Amino acid sequence: MTIERLIDSFILYLATERGLSSSYQLSVRQTLDKLTAWMEEKKLTANDVGTEELAEFLGARKKEGLAASSLRITVVHLKVFWRFISGRNYVMVDVAEPLLAPKPNAILPDSVHETSIKALLDGIDTMKFLGKRDRAILELFYASGLRLSEVCGAKMENLDSEDGFIRVTGKGNKTRIVPVGVQARDAVERYVKLERPEMVKPKTSSHIFLSVRGGALSPERVRSIVKQRALAAGIDSKIYPHLLRHSFATHLLQNGADLRVIQEMLGHADISTTQIYTHVDQKHLKATHKKFHPRG
């Protein structure tokens, strides 16, 4: 069986048997398409590829400038693919099993200072059309630490304005309930009552945030909204949705929130993912000590 047919069979397995998202399927396919192109250049078939060949492929990707984090993902994709094709006897041996992923670079997430967040939110004129919608979007990002996909996918039936909670579906189709702060709740309520009805069309879905045409907002459009609102507020630093999520977590930790609680709200499956914010907080504490201590 050709490598192309093996990949098609594997992607079908991810979609039908594993139920993984289309974005994950696309990410895997992009990795395997790169591998296919490399194999064609080397005139190799799937049965010709061993651990050394896969290591050579990873080395080529590294030379192309692929970051350590992306190389780690590539290794995972290769491992799950070869586990699949060897498990179904398309190839004799799982040659990807011995591969070691490169250590991740210690890159700490950025965050925005609280004063800049306030300037960003207060800079939106809610008396102008779309002002209430955009203020509600930004408030929700910062108040609840939602991912971009979760804001875009948020629906009316999953919003509990009275008790201040929203139910969202995150990575791996996992659902969680996240608190919505008072100011964010008020902003969303004002938008839903006063502005959203003007956007509703006959075929409009129950998504909370709508475009002027009545459809759900795309991730690209929400990114653009965040960027435009930051520029309008005179904020020099580059602002994007995930930066607001990082700021949500960082500010909670700096103000004494428990790491396990932050993990639950962010929807991290593993506490080690959340622990990166402890490094951010330590960096903040060190900077504060240096600035204010007589012998800092």
Active centre residues (catalytic): 147, 171, 242, 245, 268, 277
Tokens for 261?
């609680």
What is the C-alpha separation between 4 and 45, in angstroms, rounded?
10
Paired with 169 in beta bridges are 175
What is the C-alpha separation between 61 and 78, in angstroms, rounded?
13
CB 7 within 8 A of CB 32: yes
What is the C-alpha separation between 217 and 220, in angstroms, rounded?
8
What is the C-alpha separation between 213 and 210, in angstroms, rounded?
8
Segments in the chain forming alpha helices (H): 3-16, 22-42, 51-63, 68-87, 114-122, 131-144, 148-153, 182-194, 196-199, 219-232, 241-254, 259-266, 271-274, 276-292
Tokens for 145?
């630490």
CB 124 within 8 A of CB 227: no
CB 227 within 8 A of CB 240: yes
CB 164 within 8 A of CB 182: yes
Listed in sequence order, the residues at least 6 apart from 137 whose beta carbon sits closer than 8 Å to its beta carbon are 151, 209, 222, 225, 226
DSSP labels for 152-188?
Answer: HH-BGGGEETTTTEEEEE-GGG-EEEEE--HHHHHHH
